């Protein structure tokens, strides 16, 4: 009987402690450290010779996965496959309808 009373008392104490509204709630804060630089995109500041992937016509603003240098210019590509196709016959792609 004493064991049941002690158990009940312990249970009530635990339940009341969990519902205590005097405990401060955890506050999430975000700190901005001015010394931490914002990560750059891999091709920020690169001036491309075309606004489009010359192999498939996709706009480079949609994403650049690879680049190629040809005759002193930098060309961007949406994939390694497009870059590979371009490098096989670059002059044909430079004359293509996607050249902008």
Answer whether residue 24 is part of any domain.
no
Output the pTM of the full model.
Answer: 0.57
Domain containing residue 79: 43-100
Burial of 48: CB neighbours in 10 Å, binned 0-12, 13-18, 19+? middle
pLDDT of residue 33: 64
pLDDT of residue 64: 93
pLDDT of residue 42: 78
pLDDT of residue 10: 65
pLDDT, averaged per 10 consecutive residues of the chain (100 residues), comes to 69 64 57 63 86 93 94 95 95 77
Q: What is the DSSP letter of 38?
A: P
Report the number of distinct structural domains present in the chain: 1
């Amino acid at each position: 009987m004493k064991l049941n009373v002690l158990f009940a008392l312990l249970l009530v104490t635990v339940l009341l402690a969990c519902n205590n509204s005097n405990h401060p709630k955890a506050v999430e804060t975000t700190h901005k450290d001015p010394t931490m630089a914002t990560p750059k995109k891999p091709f920020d500041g690169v001036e491309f010779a075309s606004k489009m992937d010359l192999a498939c016509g996709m706009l480079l603003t949609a994403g650049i996965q690879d680049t190629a240098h040809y005759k002193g210019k930098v060309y961007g590509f949406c994939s390694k496959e497009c870059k590979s196709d371009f490098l096989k016959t670059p002059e044909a792609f430079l004359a293509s309808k996607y050249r902008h």
